[in-house]
Amino acid sequence: MKAQGEAQSLDVAAARRRCLKFRRRILDISQTVSALHIAPAFSCIETVDLIYHGLMRWNDGKSPDTFIMSKGHGCMAQYVVLEAMGILSGEDLGKYCKPNGRLGAHPDYGVPGIAASTGSLGHGLPMAVGMAYAEKIKKTGGRVYAVLSDGEIQEGSTWEAFMMGSTLGVSNLVAFIDNNDFQSLGRTSETHPTFYPLTDKFRAFGWETIELNGHDAGGLFEAVMSREGKKPLAVICKTVKGRGVSYMENVPIWHYRAPNKDEYVKAINELVEVTA
């Protein structure tokens, strides 16, 4: 992508400030509903922010590029970014999961800023491959970014799409894997040890692959910008589920639970900028 001479850039300090605000906003919203996916959003906030603010190109509020939240349950991370960009309104987020609201716990195509409906795992990457291929044959120059969960990689359809993505040569596709090593029933490295190594698997399927700290926005940006760019790119983001709130980090119950008032205060008070 760098080779195409795009003036993409990322102010890392600003990204850290935004991500802190996003985590606070999500905790605020958690007090209006009985449950929401906080921890899965906290693990991928730096990635989602990077995609919108560092990688997608914007002109008058429009982008030739597309983002798909394949791990649909992490959509709070997307909603707060879209709100900050003015694509969704404060009222939209105020009515999250409420009657007459238009935001649910999974992205719904047709809502502003939502390019595809997800929520069932294993759907985002096939659609992203189809989109990237359409952009390629239409010669639009459009790029497609997708965020996948690591549990989602267990879906066979994801591997079908990894295979087909490289076969079609969609070098305009970047898949970020939010590798927090947790899924509903435990730590993946313990429940499914042969799930790893991931880099070897993606490389074997014909993807350029990098693995790095998924909370290090600057590092992620540099890695994506210095890619070779001849193949689709898989970025394995090593992350911490629930990152930023000590009692949520790597504790499975926070996959979906909303904090009570005391827990909320504790969480808000300990949030700081995530530096890496």
Partner 1 sequence: MRNNFADTLYECGKENPRVAIVVADISPAGSMEKFRKEFPERFLNVGVAEQSMIGICAGMALKGLQPFAYTIATFALYRPFEFVRDDLGYQNLPVTVVGIGGGVVYSTLGGTHHCQEDIAIAGAIPNMSIIAPCDPLEARAATIYCAQQQKGPIYLRLGKAGEPVLTDKAVDPWQFGKIRYLQQGRDVCILSYGIIMKKAVELAAWLEQNGKSVSIVSVHTMKPLDRFGIEAALKSHRQVVVIEEHAPQGGLAAQTKQIAWDAKATCDLKTFSLQDEFIHNYGSHDDLLAAHGLDVAKISQQLGL
Residues that bind partner 1 (CB under 8 A): 109, 115-117, 119-120, 122-123, 125-135, 137-138, 142, 156-157, 160-161, 163-164, 168
DSSP string spanning 148-216? EESGGGGSHHHHHHHHHHHHHT-TTEEEEEEE--EETTEEHHHH-GGG--HHHHHHHTT-EEEEEETT-
Q: How far apart are the first and last CA of the chain?
A: 24
What is the smallest separation between the CB atom of 12 and partner 1, expressed in angstroms? 32
What is the smallest separation between the CB atom of 122 and partner 1, expressed in angstroms? 7
Residue placing its CB nearer to partner 1 in the complex, 157 or 199: 157
- Separation between Cα atoms, residue 229 and residue 65, nearest integer Å: 16
In whole angstroms, how large is the CA radius of gyration of the chain?
18
SS3 257: strand
Q: Tokens 């690591």 appear where?
A: 150
Residue placing its CB nearer to partner 1 in the complex, 165 or 219: 165
Residue placing its CB nearer to partner 1 in the complex, 128 or 224: 128
Residue placing its CB nearer to partner 1 in the complex, 130 or 229: 130
Residue placing its CB nearer to partner 1 in the complex, 29 or 144: 144
Separation in Å, CA 266 to CA 7, 8, 90, 244, 260 = 41, 37, 24, 12, 10
What is the smallest separation between the CB atom of 257 and partner 1, expressed in angstroms? 26
What is the smallest separation between the CB atom of 129 and partner 1, expressed in angstroms? 5
Q: Tokens 């958690």 appear where?
A: 30
What is the smallest separation between the CB atom of 95 and partner 1, expressed in angstroms? 21
Give kind and range of the element (H or E) at residue 236: strand 233-238
